[in-house]
Structure 1
Amino acid sequence: MSEGISVESLLEEARLTAEMPPPAERLRLREAAGLTRDQVAQAVGVSRGTVQNWERDGGSTPTPPGRLPYLRLLRGLAEIHPAPAAGDPVAALFTGQPSGPAPVPAAAPAPVAGVPAALAGLETLRGPDGRAVEGDPGPCVRCGVETTYQSTDGRPLHSGAMCQPTTAQPPAEPAAATPASAPAAAVPAAPVSPVAARVPTRPQRRSKSADRARAELAVLIRRAVEEEAERAGGDEDAALDALVKRAIPDVMHLFNETRATGRYDYTAYPVLPDILKKPTKKEPDQIWEARPRFHHPGYSMRAPQADITVTALDVNAAYLSALKCWLPIGKLEHTTGADGVGPKRAGVHLVTPAEWTHPHLPDPLGDRDEPGALWITDATLRLLLRLSGPKYQLTQAPTVHESWTSGASENFLDALRKLLTAAREEAIEEGDVLASEYIKAMYSKLISTMGESIHNREIERPDWMHIIHSQAYANLWGKAYKAHEAGLEVIAMMGTDELHVTGDWRQVFTEGRGVSQMKIKESDAKASGEYLVGKVSR
């Protein structure tokens, strides 16, 4: 709904922009009119998630082309639903009524005593829109009070001057009545222990709130399955087809709802480097995801004595588990050498890997056709660095030549992951195949359409897609190594979820359909999931 460029339209946009109300008033006006976010989004030409961020404190600021129609809508709603309190400065933004006396300036935040110079110079990590980015909660390195913001080096840090004093005094108790001739002596209030002042109470409230929100969203999943089953008149195939078709918009709706308190607007797509862009529709970009195709060279089904039993195992919901990974949440910045590598940074890296000298174990980089340098994701790099560390000592650390990274969070998709995991477990427990397949379609299609896809216009992050894929492969490698350490032979490892081993695998993995469990992989060729191999003579 963009307007033609003219002097009048520019003046109107400038005037309306000056009258932009705060997020709380935007929310009040929409709710007063009984409008949904979907209705507003459709009217102004943006996504529902964008409207949600416009209405949230710390969210994004309306930008063209949706800004002007959105401002016109707000102005019209303000005339219909003025702010209830006379003299309200928020109402004055639209109605022109007197805003009353100027508010008394708030007292400046109390200075934090004893801040070391090294901490005083820290800066807050910010996203592409310049706003502070949310990370894992923890005690602020300056004042000790819990915060979800973080510094550029990944430590918890309040945004701006929001640090709290490390000690606090309780409010004064009302003094007991005493004779006027004998005033009570002033007794100084006992200072609160710094430890007591830092005890976080918000995580408990957040946990209860998150559980309640998750239960409410789970109802949406069940309702969708019931609607399509009823519409299909008992035809499960038709119901499943309908659920698969609506999987992408449905999972994006759930994602938006789980991000209701998030501070990073994922719709603010950063400019991506050329290595993350496809040269043509049929050609891939330059990122290597390390997809495995491993077969143990010492065993074969065609060996003269094929008498060793192999069990093909299936990893449950591999991509769902891989949503727990470090994702870049700001504009990707280019660095050289290892400057872009850090515990709370993520992105893609150009590396030259060390030689893999363990033929009995899968190469963590998968099967490569060409040696030399290649672009890998942060998930693959983290795996290589772990394997080069003192715990494993299986390889040398790769040489990092350059990187495209930004500050990162491991929990960006975690609320959605927990929601879908709980819904999946419930569907399995109830034997609801329709719901199980619907949930699988939601998380698998979410990942596959994160890149350049015509099926999902709400999110375009090919770097995230590559990282999640690579995380699934890294998780599978960890299971293969666990089996090897327990004395099983790893015969094959393929894709995201297929692991073939010899020996008693139930002593290593728990059997079941849960996300942390393994089950026997069945196929038409091997209905039992077992087959025989023999050792190859060298």
Structure 2
Amino acid sequence: MNEKVSVESLLEEARLAKAMPPPAERLRLREAAGLTRDQVARAVGVARGTVQNWERGASEPTPPGRLEYLRLLEGLAQLYPAPEAPGDPVAELLAAAKSSTPQPPAPGVAPPVPAALTGLETLRGPDGRAIEGDPGPCVRCGVETTYQSTDGRPLHSGAMCQPTAPAVPPTPPTSAPALAPVSAPASASPVPARVSTRPQRRSKSAERAQEDLLGMIRDAVREEAERAGGDEEAAVAALEKRAVPDVMDLFAETRSSARYEYTAYPTLPDILHKPTKKRPDEIWEARPRFRHPGYSMRAARADVRVTALDTNAAYLSSMKCWLPIGRLEHTTGADGVNPKRAGVHLITPAQWAHPYLPDPIGDRDEPGALWVTDATLRLLLRLSGSKYGLTGAPEIHESWTSGATENFLDALRKALAVARDEALTTRDVLLEMYVKSMYSKFVSTMGESDTNRKIYRPDWMHIVRAQAHANLWSKAYKAHQGGLEVIAMLGTDELHVTGDPWSVFTEGRALSQMKVKYTDAKASGEYMVGKVKTDG
């Protein structure tokens, strides 16, 4: 007997197979209905930046959001049909108006400004920020803008007219090259060779996803720069204000097609909850406060030169760490310690017997057992192994852990790193500051924060921070092994050494490099210390 098929299921299959309207029509329908990208994103279950990319043609809708988006567009098309009917007087008037608007300039060429338009001013509110209105072609450059002049015509704010990017025609599919015939034994049947294209498809998909994220970052900077009309301080303040919601949108975008599901508000043990707003939870991040006992700035003879070094984007690099994904489970002894699990552990560390190297557990006021993150425990286990042999293995009493992955934040970290590199290359101060605000605030607000209600993962926050401290310790050990003396190691990114630091490290602004730390007290990043006299 044939299985009964519902009409609705057939309609859904037909919708899935139906071609989407072109990007320009998607934008027209949304604007015709007066809907914002945020409203559409919430309705179809995607991030705001995803809707923006669909309307720009940077990416195409895919399940599960594709079906809901197509249904929305079909409904809007019935309410707001395109005025394209032949002989329609309204369509003819619209076409005539469109032909009279200025056309975008050639790619890479700055748009000329007619003398009659040089005196136009941007419409601004009482706070001095540009006011947005209905989108339309800018009277200066012809590129669409939501800002307007004081006389009501579309006008890019603060003369922020942009040269239009060249249209990139779609690359026609290329046929596979003919395979040379392979001689086979007479008794064997010829077997056609197969060329796998799966890795290439994955690579292109990853590149497109990253470009979508970069587009969201660039668009935010461009929007605030234009809205501020050249006022850099106002643009900086606006970008800092939106850094948290924007980075959470980026994070949601990276998780939309990810393999691992996670819980934004998991049930956590009491040790990860603050007893009061002013009292911290019980997790120790191993933040270093090391100063070499053999040197002092107050010594009678200060003749040793010290260079204060700064780690670049410490929190961005430390997002590469093992994070728990599922619900944290309690174990006793060393049962919860596993390379594929992560969380927090109650340990008693072995005594540190190297006064001229920072203690990897940090400076503690009280000895005994303490709760540490997975990042700290992995460092201690590594240093107690045969490769280093610097300390004894910690005693593990109990753990709260879950299955983990080291690549959970990789897509977000890579996108922010690429945007940071772009900002440094182009010397874009706004972009650099915006990226820094996003990754630093993402880490600091993923715990208990009033400014970020979309996630509550204090375990992640502690692990990422502790990973930054572990990374800094590794740099201190590298300096020590390279013949430098470590004079101080402070916070997440500060390392003071004697000798020539560039014989060990590479100077620069890249994530793998180090730079001189400039402060008001030590403008050059260098200062002098003297050796402390000891008995005997």
TM bin, normalised by shorter chain, reads 0.5 to 0.7
Match of 2:495 among 491, 494, 499: 499
Q: Please list the CA deviations of residues 162-189 of structure 1 after superposition, one character each: whole Å capped at 9, or x if unmatched.
A: xxxxxxxxxxxxxxxxxxxxxxxx9776
Q: Please list the CA deviations of residues 75-112 of structure 1 after superposition, one character each: whole Å capped at 9, or x if unmatched.
A: x979969xxxxxxxxxxxxxxxxxxxxxxxxxxxxxxx
Counterparts of 1:282-321 in structure 2, within 5 Å, are 282-321=278-317
Q: CA deviation at 1:203?
A: 3.3
Checking the alignment, whether the CA contact within 8 Å between 2:46 and 2:253 is kept in structure 1 is: no
Amino acid at match of 2:327: K
3-state SS of the aligned residue for 2:321?
Answer: coil
Q: CA deviation at 1:527?
A: 0.4
Amino acid at match of 1:516: S
Amino acid at match of 2:406: E
Q: 1:27 to 1:457 in 2, by over 3 A?
A: farther
Q: Give 1:98's aligned residue.
A: none
Checking the alignment, whether the CA contact within 8 Å between 1:354 and 1:395 is kept in structure 2 is: yes
Distance in 2, Cα, partners of 1:343 & 1:252? 28
Checking the alignment, whether the CA contact within 8 Å between 2:263 and 2:325 is kept in structure 1 is: no
3-state SS of the aligned residue for 1:475?
Answer: helix
Unaligned runs of 5+ in 2: 1-7, 31-35, 52-60, 77-185
Task: Confirm or deny that 1:422 pairs with 2:425.
Answer: no
Deviates more, 1:480-489 or 1:266-275: 266-275
Q: CA deviation at 1:201?
A: 5.0
Q: Please list the CA deviations of residues 197-248 of structure 1 after superposition, one character each: whole Å capped at 9, or x if unmatched.
A: 9x97533322222122212321222221122112112111111000000101
Q: Give 1:386's aligned residue.
A: 382
Q: Give 1:239's aligned residue.
A: 235
Q: Give 1:265's aligned residue.
A: 261
Q: CA deviation at 1:344?
A: 1.0
Task: Confirm or deny that 1:401 pairs with 2:401.
Answer: no
Q: Give 2:523's aligned residue.
A: 527
RMSD: 3.5
Counterparts of 1:98-497 in structure 2, within 5 Å, are 201-497=197-493
Checking the alignment, whether the CA contact within 8 Å between 2:295 and 2:530 is kept in structure 1 is: yes
Checking the alignment, whether the CA contact within 8 Å between 2:321 and 2:407 is kept in structure 1 is: yes
Q: Please list the CA deviations of residues 131-153 of structure 1 after superposition, one character each: whole Å capped at 9, or x if unmatched.
A: xxxxxxxxxxxxxxxxxxxxxxx
Q: 1:523 to 1:80 in 2, by over 3 A?
A: closer
Q: CA deviation at 1:444?
A: 0.4
Q: Please list the CA deviations of residues 365-400 of structure 1 after superposition, one character each: whole Å capped at 9, or x if unmatched.
A: 111111100000000000000100111100011011
Between the aligned residues of both structures, percent identity stands at 69
* TM-score, normalised relative to structure 2: 0.67
Distance in 1, Cα, partners of 2:449 & 2:196? 42
Amino acid at match of 1:363: D
Q: Give 1:39's aligned residue.
A: 39
Deviates more, 1:279-288 or 1:250-259: 250-259
Unaligned runs of 5+ in 1: 1-18, 60-70, 82-185
Q: CA deviation at 1:28?
A: 8.8
Checking the alignment, whether the CA contact within 8 Å between 1:23 and 1:56 is kept in structure 2 is: no
Q: CA deviation at 1:266?
A: 3.3
Amino acid at match of 1:384: L
Distance in 2, Cα, partners of 1:372 & 1:442? 37
Q: CA deviation at 1:270?
A: 2.2
Q: Give 1:510's aligned residue.
A: 506
Distance in 2, Cα, partners of 1:397 & 1:26? 60
Q: Please list the CA deviations of residues 12-56 of structure 1 after superposition, one character each: whole Å capped at 9, or x if unmatched.
A: xxxxxxx99999999899x89978884266569x8859x99xx98
Q: CA deviation at 1:278?
A: 0.7
Q: CA deviation at 1:332?
A: 0.6
Distance in 2, Cα, partners of 1:512 & 1:256? 32
Q: Give 2:102's aligned residue.
A: none
Amino acid at match of 2:39: Q
3-state SS of the aligned residue for 1:411?
Answer: coil
Q: CA deviation at 1:454?
A: 1.7
* TM-score, normalised relative to structure 1: 0.67
Q: 1:200 to 1:349 in 2, by over 3 A?
A: farther
Checking the alignment, whether the CA contact within 8 Å between 1:266 and 1:459 is kept in structure 2 is: no
Distance in 1, Cα, partners of 2:228 & 2:495? 37
Q: Please list the CA deviations of residues 110-139 of structure 1 after superposition, one character each: whole Å capped at 9, or x if unmatched.
A: xxxxxxxxxxxxxxxxxxxxxxxxxxxxxx
Q: 1:517 to 1:20 in 2, by over 3 A?
A: farther
Distance in 1, Cα, partners of 2:429 & 2:292? 35
Q: 1:216 to 1:382 in 2, by over 3 A?
A: same
3-state SS of the aligned residue for 1:307?
Answer: strand
Number of aligned positions between the proteins: 396
Checking the alignment, whether the CA contact within 8 Å between 2:307 and 2:527 is kept in structure 1 is: yes
Q: Please list the CA deviations of residues 266-323 of structure 1 after superposition, one character each: whole Å capped at 9, or x if unmatched.
A: 3453211111111111111110000000000110001111100000000000000001
Distance in 2, Cα, partners of 1:461 & 1:21? 42
Q: Give 2:150's aligned residue.
A: none
Q: Give 1:182's aligned residue.
A: none
